[in-house]
């Protein structure tokens, strides 16, 4: 079986939770980390984030409980949250082309939810790039190129076509498992 594909966007606290668990090896195999634009996924399905609904307080509390259960410490919510992650996700695609996509995604997720950084702010994105061992200014410049913009759009459209309805999603074979709470199920599917 091919390696599972791990779709994520750095604006999602559930993607952060799942990424930390994948980083710890809870999946049992190394997935291919794939940056996609969650806003475009929302647009394709006709509705948006729970964070913009009456369920926000309940969702925030659930993320905070899970972070403590997973021994990740307290969540530091960026302000504003949710924010515009377009630049950060373009940088994730540019970092991936350099072989550092996973490192950048993990650094950016931690910048957002461990350190409370606003990843719509270019200096915060450049700092995440530096943490991932990349030149922040070079990555920001690469993110502005048509090739990177087109690549993020194409990756997102391909993910939607594969059944990705949100992040985090693990694609195991043809089965799309959406949500941090499905990581154990994904691990079972990989062992079978």
Average pLDDT, the chain: 93
The two structure tokens encoding residue 77? 């919510």
Q: What is the pLDDT of residues 151-168, one digit of tens each?
A: 999 999 999 999 999 999
Indicate the pTM of the whole model: 0.95
Question: So what's the pLDDT on residue 187?
Answer: 75
Level-2 CATH architecture, domain 5-191: 3-Layer(aba) Sandwich (3.40)
Distance CA 167, CA 9 (A): 7
Q: Average the pLDDT over each of 50-59, 71-80, 134-143, 183-192 and give the range with the smallest value.
A: 183-192
In this prediction, residues 27-50 reach a mean pLDDT of 90
- What's the Rg (C-alpha) of the chain? 15
The two structure tokens encoding residue 135? 């030149």
Q: What is the pLDDT of residues 90-121, one digit of tens each?
A: 999 999 999 999 999 999 999 999 999 999 99
Res 135 pLDDT > 80? yes
Distance CA 184, CA 18 (A): 10
Question: So what's the pLDDT on residue 1?
Answer: 66
The percentage of the chain sitting over the pLDDT mark of 70, rounded to a whole number, equals 99
Distance CA 144, CA 189 (A): 38
What are the residue boundaries of the structural domains of the chain, listed by start?
5-191
Cβ atoms within 10 A of the Cβ of 95, count? 27
């Amino acid at each position: 079986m091919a390696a599972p594909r791990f779709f994520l966007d750095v604006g999602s606290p559930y993607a952060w939770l799942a990424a930390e668990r994948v980083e710890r090896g809870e999946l049992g195999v190394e997935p291919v980390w794939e940056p996609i634009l969650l806003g475009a996924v929302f647009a394709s399905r006709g509705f948006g984030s729970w964070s913009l609904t009456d369920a926000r307080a309940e969702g925030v509390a659930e993320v905070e409980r899970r972070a403590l259960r997973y021994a990740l410490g307290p969540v530091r919510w960026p302000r504003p949250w949710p924010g515009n992650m377009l630049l950060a996700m373009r940088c994730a695609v540019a970092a991936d082309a350099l072989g550092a996509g996973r490192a950048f995604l993990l650094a950016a997720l931690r910048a957002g939810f461990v350190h409370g950084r606003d990843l719509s702010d270019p200096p915060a994105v450049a700092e995440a790039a530096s943490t991932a061992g990349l030149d922040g200014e070079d990555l920001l410049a690469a993110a502005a190129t048509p090739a990177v913009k087109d690549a993020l759009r194409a990756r997102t459209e391909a993910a939607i076509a594969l059944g990705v309805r949100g992040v985090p999603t693990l694609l195991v074979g043809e089965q799309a498992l959406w949500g941090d709470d499905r990581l154990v199920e994904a691990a079972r599917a990989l062992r079978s």
